[in-house]
Structure 1
Amino acid sequence: MGEESGTEDKGLAADGTIRREGATERVHAAFAPVVEAARLRVADAFGPGRLHSVYLYGSVPRGTAIPGVSDLDLLVVLHDRPTAADRAAAEDTSGALNSAFAVIEGAGLLLSHVHAVLSEAERHDLGFLVACLCTPLLGEDLATRLPPYRPTSLLARETNGDLALALPRWRALAAGAATEEARLRLGRRVSRRLVRSAFTLVMPRWGGWTSDLHRSAELFARYHPGHPERVAQVRTAAATARTPSPDPAVLTMLVEDLGPWLSAEYTRAHGTKTPRPEG
């Protein structure tokens, strides 16, 4: 429905705070076996002495995942800081899920710990991820210990205000992406990040939240009509995130043109993300 009708869903609760976007009941039947396997494998890999809680995020708990195309994204929260052994266990678990289930393009385990999730430094980044973008799968739901969130410039800054730090890494990876497969994977990763940044750039003006990449691109277009070339690039990024292109020119456009422009525009509008302590 259009904004003019007053019925546009902005992903907000009645009090204007951002709704939690996923739920286990939204997981499509095709993905139910891999979700259950992930729950069991993660519990077995870390055990109660290390594991605090596990969450799903991304397209699977939103109910928009496509078999054979979408990733399975998991946040694993430990009782304390992840160790090298924990990271190795996460890699092993990801590899086992990838080998066992063709329904997913890949499984990714993001490791963190309770103190980080609840810290003031991560309140509007990792904390926001848990409270609004994650679906509890196992253990205590830390969202009950986090505040409500609103679509503010502070949230924009702390979620995506470090785009400039990603650009050198992307350039290095692009320079070394000699195969079509490497370009496809990098293009998908870069496109997702750029579309999300384009959306959060305009999020406070729109006054809502969405994780849908196509809708994100169209919301960017709504608030940047004076930049038709950037609108076209963000739309290309949204399409590439869903259906990656092996064309090196697309990756070059994302990394060398759209990325730097979006980073500068983001800094101008919202500032840069607060530096995190080392380690």
Structure 2
Amino acid sequence: MSKRGLDSLGYIEREGSPGRVPEAFRPVVAAARERVLGVFGARLHSAYLYGSIPRGTARVGRSDLDLLLALREDPTEADRADARTLDEALDKEFAQIDGAGTLLFGRAQVLSDLERHDLGWFVACLCTPLLGDDLAEELPCYRPDTLLARETNGDLALLLPRWRLRIAEATGATGIARATGAAEATGAGGPEEAALRPLVRHMSRHLVRTAFTLVMPRWNGWTSDLAEMAEVFAAHYPERNHPSRAAQLRKAAVLGHEPVGDRAVLRSYVDDLGPWLAEEYARVHGVKNPRP
């Protein structure tokens, strides 16, 4: 990939490729390809890898397998149940991955005008084709501009209440009971920690990426490296003008890779860093177009 992830015309280059998949993860990818086709068959339009595995940065035993499937019609609850079963089977069988997750969408949604600069961009630039006809061929080229910034991450204010609810559920009896088995199996510090660790990882990554896209048009480039994202943000929001924000994002970048099940971290996200970032994002780029 060229400097700052752009081609010679200033468009975001597609990251990842089958050739970059690390050797240790190739059996996982091969199994995923075969099983996706077996499960979804004629319902499937196309399948994609995304994340660290196709970027070639995955770590054995630490990285998850990320899949996106575009179905010919909108996915049903039965399709989602099939995807969960597939994810669970892959995660159980392959020690190389720390979980598997499959996103399901209908082809029409990926190509819709409403999703052109969000889901469409994600497929065209951040997904690596695995099966079927590549929908990127029906999508435009993308620049790292304010429209892309607004439509990708301009909804943080809407996410924060949902995050608070997830934290409450994870720290309540239901969340702790759900995590007890995982804690016992992995030797984790305790049931609450086991319940909170995935939330810390998810929210840390989301906040770092949102902070990066806040400044992406000024930086004029694209990266998926969390540490680099945090540094790009820090360069545009230095500590002398925004005390603690750069440090918070650098810490979040670390926790995105090595999460800890700490409720104080999560509270700081939903009570301090998240609200500030949502307000600043709306001021700079506006608010994402509402979805149904």
TM-score (norm 2): 0.90
| CA shift for structure 1 position 246 | 2.3
User: Once the two structures are superposed, what CA deviation does each residue of 1:62-84 show, in whole Å capped at 9, x if it has no partner?
Assistant: 01111111111100000011011
1:47 aligns with 2:41: yes
Question: Does 2:113 correspond to 1:120?
Answer: yes
TM-superposition CA deviations, 1:55-109 (whole Å, max 9, x none): 0011110011111111111000000110111111111111111111111111100
Pair 1:148-2:161 in alignment: no
Displacement of 1:183 in angstroms is 1.1
8 Å Cα contact 1:78-1:114 kept in structure 2? yes
Task: Report deviation, 1:205.
Answer: 0.4
Show CA shifts across 1:166-201 (max 9, x none). 101111111232311111111001001000000000
User: Which residue number corresponds to residue 15 of structure 1?
Assistant: 9
Counterpart for residue 77 of structure 1: 70
State which of 246, 268, 276 in structure 2 corresponds to 1:231: 246
SS for the counterpart of 2:47 is strand
Amino acid aligned to 1:93:
L
1:272 aligns with 2:287: yes
Q: Provide the rounded CA distance (Å) in 2 between the counterparts of 1:98 and 1:184.
A: 17
In 1, Cα distance between equivalents of 2:36 and 2:89: 11
TM superposition shift of 1:266: 0.5
Shift of 1:276: 1.6
Corresponding residue SS for 1:228: coil
Output aligned runs, 1:236-275, within 5 Å.
236-275=251-290
The amino acid across from 1:128 in the alignment is W
Q: Conserved in 1, the CA contact under 8 Å of 2:200 and 2:262?
A: no
**1: CA distance, partners of 2:91 / 2:131:** 20
Match of 1:171 among 164, 168, 171: 164
- Pairs within 5 Å for 1:57-76: 57-76=50-69
TM-score (norm 1): 0.95
Equivalent residue number for residue 216 of structure 1: 229
Letter in 1 for 2:115: E
Q: CA deviation at 1:253?
A: 1.3
Give the number of equivalent residue pairs.
269
Once residues 248 and 92 of structure 1 are traced to their aligned partners in structure 2, the CA distance between those partners, rounded to angstroms, is: 30
Instruction: Decide whether the 8 Å contact of 1:198 with 1:220 is kept in 2.
Output: yes
Q: Percent identity?
A: 61
For 1:14, the aligned partner's letter is S
Q: Which amino acid aligns with 2:31?
A: A
- Secondary structure class of the residue paired with 2:48: strand
Quick one: distance in 1 between partners of 2:254 and 2:5? 22
Tell me how far apart the structure 1 counterparts of residues 133 and 35 of structure 2 sit (CA, whole Å).
Answer: 18
C-alpha deviations, 1:31-75, integer Å up to 9, x for none?
111111111111001012x00000001111001111111111100
Aligned equivalents of 2:170, 2:76: Cα separation in 1 = 30
SS of the residue 1:190 aligns to: helix
Deviant stretches of 4+, over 3 Å: none
Unaligned runs of 5+ in 1: 1-7
Instruction: Find the partner of 1:92 among 85, 89, 95.
Output: 85
| C-alpha separation in 2, matches of 1:113 and 1:247 | 36
Of 215-224 and 84-93, more deviation after overlay is shown by 84-93
Equivalents in 2 of 1:211, 1:9: separation in Å?
A: 13
Residue number in structure 2 paired with 1:4: none
Mapped partners of 1:38, 1:14: distance in 2: 34
One-letter code aligned to 1:214: A
Report if aligned partners of 1:52, 1:77 keep a CA contact under 8 Å in 2.
Answer: yes
CA–CA distance in 1 between the matches of 2:19 and 2:213?
27
